[in-house]
Amino acid sequence: MKRILLPALLAALMLLAACGGEPEKKETAQTAGDAPVQAEPVKLTYANFPPAFTVPCVQMEHWKEEVQTRTQGAVIVETFPGGSLLKSKNMLRGVIEGQADIGCLSMSYQPGVFPLTTAVEMPVGFSSAKVSSQVLWALFEKYQPAEFAQVKVLTLFATPPSNVMSTVPVQSLADLQGLELRGGGTPAKFLELLGAVPVNMPMPETPDALQKNIVKGLFSSLEVLQDMKFAEYCPNVTTLNGPAYIFAVVMNQAKWDSLPEEVKKTLDTLAPEQAAWTGEYWDKHTADAVEWSVQNHKLQSFTLTPEEMAQVAEKTAGITAAWKEAATAAGVPAEEVFADLLTFKSQFEAN
């Protein structure tokens, strides 16, 4: 009898301790401050295509830190730079299909796929990436474009203006004629109208193409002089203040829908702040990279004469007209969007 009673008594005591001894631990979300604390953190994978040390990946790590801090650990983000999870070409599809929860893509690499947001690639003379990134977000918020209907947009950002980095000095428009330069999307169109030969290839393939002399340079924001070590091959810069490249960070819609409301709120609040942070960081880092290239690779900078710059504006003026036509055909209210683009630009420039 004793032998049977003792284990039964012990089991009963353990059950009692489990049920009533300690304050109840909730399985569901509790609110602490403005973010939820969950029993099990939500884990999100975040894919990016360029190497870890480039700006699109620096902004990814910043976002990750912000999210983990603001949700007090309720969301954990695992980052995959360098195309280690998904490559640039299939980023949108990959996120829609759930191969990654989150992905960073450049709309500039897929002409025609993003008819509204590519307004921000127009050569309207953006003074900084901070301004163009904020304008991009403002347009997105106002129009909620159909091009992102299948995903949740977590943030958007744009590069500083594109300029020529080349193996040979480009001191005039004549030097640009027939010159093969890496470029994509609207920036590539801009090059073409000036007589250069744009070659579309992903950023990570460019160092190899430069070494093999397949391209004589590239047309991009200048921070890559340092980050991708392009200053080594291209110690010449020509200022054209050409169009920016634009980026989006998107999330799988079903994954987004499954997030706790408090987490969604936190991510929505972060979205425009992240756009401004990335633009500002990109501007500052670009200035530092140019200085680094002068110190380490004797970078030479060239500007065109005011007459030639007027020719640049004249030769590339058709880009905006062509965008309006294509955007209208895709169902975008192009005139209204373009007018808003200019209004938002002056508003953010004034701040």
50 binds ligand DTR (CB under 6 A): yes
Q: Which is nearer to ligand DTR, 164 or 259 (CB)?
A: 164
Who's near 39: CB < 8 A, 6+ residues apart?
25, 26, 27, 28
Footprint of ligand DTR on 157-196 (CB under 6 A): 159
59 binds ligand DTR (CB under 6 A): no
224 binds ligand DTR (CB under 6 A): yes
Stretch that binds ligand DTR, among 28-36, 116-124, 219-227, 312-320 (CB under 6 A): 219-227
The two tokens of residue 178 are 């027939």
CA distance 170 to 145: 39
293 binds ligand DTR (CB under 6 A): no
Q: Measured from the CB of residue 242, what is the shortest distance to ligand DTR in angstroms?
A: 10
3-state secondary structure of 276: helix
145 binds ligand DTR (CB under 6 A): no
Largest CA distance in the chain: 107
H helical segments located in the chain:
2-16, 55-70, 91-96, 129-143, 173-176, 185-193, 206-211, 224-227, 253-257, 261-297, 306-316, 318-329, 334-350
In the list 203, 210, 270, 276, the residue contacting ligand DTR (rule: CB under 6 A) is: 203
In the list 220, 238, 266, 286, the residue contacting ligand DTR (rule: CB under 6 A) is: 220
290 binds ligand DTR (CB under 6 A): no
320 binds ligand DTR (CB under 6 A): no
55 binds ligand DTR (CB under 6 A): yes
CB distance 34 to 261 below 8 Å: no
Footprint of ligand DTR on 229-258 (CB under 6 A): 245
Q: What angle do CA 292, 295, 297 make, to 5 degrees?
A: 90
Q: Which is nearer to ligand DTR, 56 or 115 (CB)?
A: 56
117 binds ligand DTR (CB under 6 A): no
CA distance 256 to 246: 23
Q: Measured from the CB of residue 221, what is the shortest distance to ligand DTR in angstroms?
A: 5
The number of beta carbons lying within 10 Å of the beta carbon of residue 9 is 10
Q: Measured from the CB of residue 84, what is the shortest distance to ligand DTR in angstroms?
A: 15
Alpha carbon separation from 129 to 84, 158, 179, 248, 288 (Å, rounded)? 27, 6, 27, 14, 15
Q: Measured from the CB of residue 207, what is the shortest distance to ligand DTR in angstroms?
A: 12
CA distance 97 to 204: 24
x-or-dash string of contact with ligand DTR, 68-107, rule CB under 6 A: --------------------------------------x-
The two tokens of residue 221 are 């924001």
The two tokens of residue 315 are 């030769």
56 binds ligand DTR (CB under 6 A): yes
Residues in touch with ligand DTR (CB under 6 A): 50, 54-56, 106, 159, 203, 220-221, 224, 245
